[in-house]
Structure 1
Amino acid sequence: MIEPFVESDIPSFIALAREEGWVCGAWEFQFLLQNFPQGCLAWREEGKTLGYITSLRHENSGWIGNLLVTSEARRRGIGAKLMEGALDALLSSQEATVWLTASAKGVGLYRKLGFLPIDSINRWKGKGTSDPRAERLPHQDLQTMREVDRAGWGDRRDGLLDVTVGRGWSYCGEHSFLCCQPWEEGTQIGAWGALMETQAELLLDRALGGLLGPVFLDVPAGNLAAASLLTKRKFSIAGSNTLMYLGAQPSYDNKKIFALASMGSMG
């Protein structure tokens, strides 16, 4: 049966997610549980947890992520029931649009629930250039970040930006920003937004100059400028998912979104 996802579920979920090759951390679930606990659910039978789902509410939209069912419990409809529970939580909060990213296997399920594809999200991987002269600065000009992010997603996502900026460092330019987040696997770039390609490029080079080791980011496939910038810097695509939405058609402008703030789970 469906029960709340609680903090004690975090270690077991992370262990299961890493078996699937996902990038996720405890801070992410703590943020989700604090901000939208009613949309974070688990499926339990006889004291054993067999599935999980999380979701997050922004101002006029929501995001579903981290739907995961243990291998022995798949093909029993548990994922569909968890999805319905998360959707109920979001739609009862009057979200106009609900987002998610779907694997190739999941697209059919989500289509049946009414989700429509709008783009693909490519995971790019590369390396930093490690220039010792590069400087890391604390977050700057949150107002610019929020305005540029809203121009891309058509919604205010202040809580998500605040937590991702707070756990790493960021660079701001004219109508542009780029955040770097540390992970055990390397460094994530994102959120990264800009109104013009030239502005995005300046921040990318500044960020890569201060990084050593693996760098990864999730980028809308429709942002051809981002793909060009990354290809020139010897990044390559390591995987892809489908970006889908349910409800009101969003004011989505992928040309202004150079990287997502999360690795697929929060947008």
Structure 2
Amino acid sequence: MPGPLLPSDVDSFLTMALAEGWICGRWEMEFLLQAFPQGCLVKRAGGETLGYVTSLRHDKSGWIGNLLVAPVARRGGIGTELLTGALQALLEAGVETVWLTASAKGVELYKKLGFLPIDSINRWVGEGGAPPSWSPSPRLDHEMLRQVDSAGWGDRRDALLSVACGRGRVICGTYSFVCIQQWEQGTQLGPWGALFEGQAAPLLDLALAAAGGSVFLDVPAGNVAAASLLARKGFSIRGSNTLMYLGARPQYAPKKIFALGSMGSMG
């Protein structure tokens, strides 16, 4: 049976995640372990660590991310075991809907567990402007951020918004916002939400002017306006996953979601 993922496991997880080409940071793992430890699990056998999974509870929904099994241990049921453990933790915590993004290889596994596809998530990559000058965001209307984000996802995701916007720089419009987060691999845009399509383009211009070098973001395919904006700025799609859910069908409105808040681990 999987056991709890411990702070001492973070280094080995990050090493394995880097080998997979994932964008993942220590701050992220530390946040997940603090926010929802019962849903962060590890599989060990014979003194070796064979796999990991993390999850996060929002309000009525939860997210499963970072399901990672060592290459030598794949196709042995460890992924299913870890996923089932995280799913059980979320359901026991009272969530009504569980989200995840699935690679092409993982879709059938998740379908067997009852997950249904609802959209695709495309990773867009392009270039920003001058190197960013990182400074704390001005005083934010946190309730506006929560309302805009909730309009897209159908749930309050306060902890995710707090950690993402707290480590990044937030640009706000009228019932719209975009967070600019710095990673070793470049600059992420997200979370990025807008209640109306016309509010997104000015935010993108400001965000790209503040972002330096490589810029990446994960965008619902159901948001055609976002795809059009990014294509006009020279961005292109470099990968795609399937967005899936289990449980109550969410009040999902992709036209209000211009980019996810994390690179797969939290939604």
Report the TM-score range of the alignment, normalised by the length of the smaller protein.
over 0.9
Q: One-letter code of the match for 2:68?
A: L
Paired position in structure 2 for 1:113: 113
Give SS of 1:192's match.
strand
Q: Distance in 2 between matches of 1:237 and 1:263?
A: 15
Q: Distance in 2 between matches of 1:91 and 1:14?
A: 27
Overall identity of the aligned pairs, in %: 64
Q: Distance in 2 between matches of 1:134 and 1:159?
A: 22
Are 1:139 and 1:170, in contact at CA under 8 Å, matched by a contact in 2?
no
Post-superposition CA distance 1:193-234 (Å, at most 9, x none)? 001122111111001011220000000000000000000000
Q: Distance in 2 between matches of 1:39 and 1:98?
A: 12
- Residue 130 in structure 1 maps to residue 100 in structure 2: no
Give SS of 1:140's match.
coil
Paired position in structure 1 for 2:239: 239
Q: Distance in 2 between matches of 1:86 and 1:136?
A: 34
Q: One-letter code of the match for 2:208?
A: L
TM normalised by structure 1 equals 0.97
Q: One-letter code of the match for 1:201?
A: A
Paired position in structure 2 for 1:214: 214
Within-5 A mapping of 1:98-109 = 98-109=98-109
Q: 1:137–1:110: structure 2 CA closer, same or farther, 3 Å change rule? A: same
Are 1:5 and 1:41, in contact at CA under 8 Å, matched by a contact in 2?
yes
Q: Distance in 1 between matches of 2:37 and 2:201?
A: 37
- List runs of 5+ in structure 1 lacking aligned partners: none
Within-5 A mapping of 1:24-103 = 24-103=24-103
Are 2:178 and 2:190, in contact at CA under 8 Å, matched by a contact in 1?
yes
Q: Distance in 2 between matches of 1:5 and 1:95?
A: 21
Q: Report the aligned-residue RMSD.
A: 1.6
Q: Distance in 1 between matches of 2:136 and 2:91?
A: 40
Q: One-letter code of the match for 1:226?
A: A
Give SS of 2:118's match.
strand
TM normalised by structure 2 equals 0.97
Are 2:180 and 2:211, in contact at CA under 8 Å, matched by a contact in 1?
no
